[in-house]
Amino acid sequence: MNFAEKVVVAVGLSNDMTDMLRPMHEMEFLAKSEIHFVHIFNTTNYTTVFSDFPIVYPIEADLKGIDESVLAFLAKAAKAVLPEKFQGKIIYKCFFDPSPKSKFSDYVKESKANLVIVPKREKVGFFESSFAYYVNKHTHANMILLKKN
């Protein structure tokens, strides 16, 4: 089994995400991989005094529109960052969850990925509460951190 046979890429929605993922363009070993571009949209529960049920953001009516927008963003980012001779399979996923770190780690395990790519800003670092640290601790997949200065 190739160490990059099945790859999961964590993708945020920041304006510089494509630049942060650009080093993937030089990773020729990804040419025949199955690559999953994944974004986890953080949901928030608001409790109110006037109701017995919490309000969840984003609301149900907005989920489809957000999902379509995120999938379009992932497709655009993938096109810009994949190696020129890419012949593998691309999968785009958008999930909604109150714990993005946990949901992403669960997806890595469920998909049986053997490599995870996480872009991060260098100034933030790799500390116990970071997304990358959590994923590293809760999955068995190899990791590549793409640091942007």
In CATH terms, the fold of domain 6-147 is Rossmann fold (3.40.50)
Q: Is the pLDDT of residue 47 over 90?
A: no
Residue 42 pLDDT greater than 90, yes or no: yes
Among all chains, which residue has been given the structure tokens 């309000």? 55
Residue-level pLDDT at 128:
60
- Res 126: pLDDT: 56
Q: pTM of the prediction?
A: 0.89
Residue 18 has pLDDT above 70, yes or no: yes
Residues 6+ apart with CB under 8 A from 100: 40, 41, 42, 131
Provide the pLDDT for residue 5.
95
Task: Give the confidence band of 13 by pLDDT, cuts at 50, 70, 90.
Answer: very high
What ranges do the domains of the chain cover? Answer: 6-147
Residue 129 has pLDDT above 70, yes or no: no
Instruction: Give the model's pLDDT for residue 25.
Output: 95
